[in-house]
Amino acid sequence: MDSSLDQALQEGKLLRQIDALIVAHLREHNHHHAAASVASATMTPLSSAEALPNRLVDLVAKGLAVERDDASRGVQSGSLLDALSAASGKHRSAPAASGAVDFSAVQETKGTSKNFPKHDTRHISEHKNIARCSRFSPDGRFVATGSADTSIKLFEVSKIKQLMLPESRDGPIRPVIRTLYDHAQAINDLDFHPQNNILISGSKDHTIKFFDFSKTVARRAFRVIQDTHNVRSVSFHPSGEFLLAGTDHPIPHLYDINTFQCYLSADMKDLGSNAVINQVRYSNSGALYVTASKDGAIRVWDGVTAQCVRTITQAHRLSESTSARFTKDGRFILSCGKDSAIKLWEVTSGRLVKQYLGAVHTQLLCQAVFNETEEFVLSVDEVKNEVVVWDALSSERVARWPSNHVGAPRWIEHSPTEAAFITCGGDRSIRFWKEV
């Protein structure tokens, strides 16, 4: 394990906690304008800056007491940051998130693969041109798809499942609850706000658009961010206060959604013109984000400083890295590339942990995704036009199913809450899959 990176990540977490304490302290003493200014400057969501009364004062007092105690014993003191860390006990490694699979705990898993349950699939709608992307809402209630026809379709998952019941196959159920139009060119990516009924879209027209889907008559965006490049990928911070845009520019664009201010890292080392970002995704904690780039690299970025803290060069050899996302606990990254490989990486060391092989994807910007429990990995075989499934721990292939698309799906996305996923195709169709 790279101890220097681990220390940097731990210190980054501590600094974020200190920023939140400062903002909470200012709010507690009615310095609301100052609190808002500090929150904006440090990218600390105001909603997260809650603390017990005088918590910051208490921690500083304890930290100074540690320094005085060290001085009285003739021990050379470290920084106040170290003292605060010791006083607050925050420098311990975080445990795995509840329900997350601990890939590092498994040594030998051959012959232990689980069976992936059978799924029923149904064509639920189609666009007027290629269906390019999809995303589920965090609660799994909605799923949206974006197309080269510049439209976005929003589905209610409960209606899709009702449509798939045998007695409802010929009924009047319409799972599409909104069709949104406001882009001039193809939609590349979508994301849902973590708390509100807001959907964002990134497009080739260099814009990120905000749609309020709680309003039944609204078809146009109520807010627009004008970027300087083709917006290939978008991802909300878990707080909902910030968003990332992966573009044709090699540096992720970080936006404050309240001010539209754009933050760019000054760290341009080792980034050439071929480092176009195919996908960007936040970790569940927001402490880190990851980019998959056209130059084949996977890069990990600090969620506050926006500095690149880990580069896995040629993660997919000389081929493009087409997707990357964190595990639930933020300790591993699942990536996919045009070398027909899907790989699992340890964040702190950059070590390759597992590979999922046996599906060809060399042309499209294919996705690799976990199921809702992270027990399985799903992707697409372009040549055989199949959905392929691996046991996530053993890395053995456990299922191959015809996609039922005309031509291989361009996108696969799994629900975060249940055994269901969606595929989008060059045949314009959208198919929903659910466990039988």
The Cβ of residue 313 has, within 10 Å, a number of other Cβ atoms equal to 11
Task: Spell 29-68 as b/e; 16+ CB within 10 A means b.
Answer: eeeeeebeebbbebbbbbebbebeeebbeebbeebeebbe
Q: What is the pLDDT of residue 93?
A: 37
Q: What is the pLDDT of residue 85?
A: 46
Q: What is the pLDDT of residue 352?
A: 96
Q: What is the pLDDT of residue 90?
A: 40
Give the gyration radius of the chain's Cα atoms. Answer: 23
Mean pLDDT, residues 230-255 taken together: 95
Q: What is the pLDDT of residue 87?
A: 46
Residue 397: exposure state from Cβ atoms within 10 A (0-12, 13-18, ≥19): middle
Q: Which two tokens stand for residue 185?
A: 């060119």
Q: What is the CATH number of domain 119-435?
A: 2.130.10.10
- 80-89 long-range contacts (CB < 8 A, ≥24 apart) are 81/11, 81/14, 81/15, 84/14, 84/18, 84/59, 84/60, 85/14, 87/59, 87/62, 87/63, 88/17, 88/59, 88/62
Q: How many helices (H) and strands (E) does the chain have?
A: 5, 28
Selection from 10-19, 20-29, 269-278, 336-345 with the highest mean pLDDT? 336-345
Global pTM? Answer: 0.78
Query: Which sequence spans correspond to the domains of the chain?
Result: 3-93, 119-435
Asked if residue 81 has pLDDT above 60, the reply is: no
In this predicted structure, which of 74-78, 218-222, 315-319 has the lowest mean pLDDT?
74-78
Task: Report whether 69 contacts 261 (CB < 8 A).
Answer: no
Alpha helix (H) ranges present in 97-200? 157-163
Q: What is the pLDDT of residue 219?
A: 83
Distance, in Å, from the CA atom of 179 to the CA atom of 211, rounded to the nearest integer, reads 11
Q: What is the pLDDT of residue 249?
A: 92
Asked if residue 234 has pLDDT above 70, the reply is: yes
Strand order in the sheet with 342-346: 321-326, 332-337, 342-346, 352-356
Residue 379: partners with Cβ closer than 8 Å, 6 or more residues away: 336, 342, 356, 359, 361, 366, 367, 368, 369, 387, 388, 412
Q: Could you tell me what percent of the chain has a pLDDT over 90?
A: 65
Alpha helix (H) ranges present in 281-363? none
Mean pLDDT, residues 47-69 taken together: 64
Q: What is the pLDDT of residue 96?
A: 44
| Type of residue found at 260 | F
End-to-end CA distance of the chain: 42
Mean pLDDT, residues 399-410 taken together: 96
Q: Which two tokens stand for residue 374?
A: 């992270």
Q: Which two tokens stand for residue 357?
A: 């092989």
For tokens 């170290």, name the residue. 82
Mean pLDDT, the chain, rounded, equals: 85
* 67 alpha carbon, distance to own chain's centre: 40
Distance, in Å, from the CA atom of 328 to the CA atom of 408, rounded to the nearest integer, reads 28
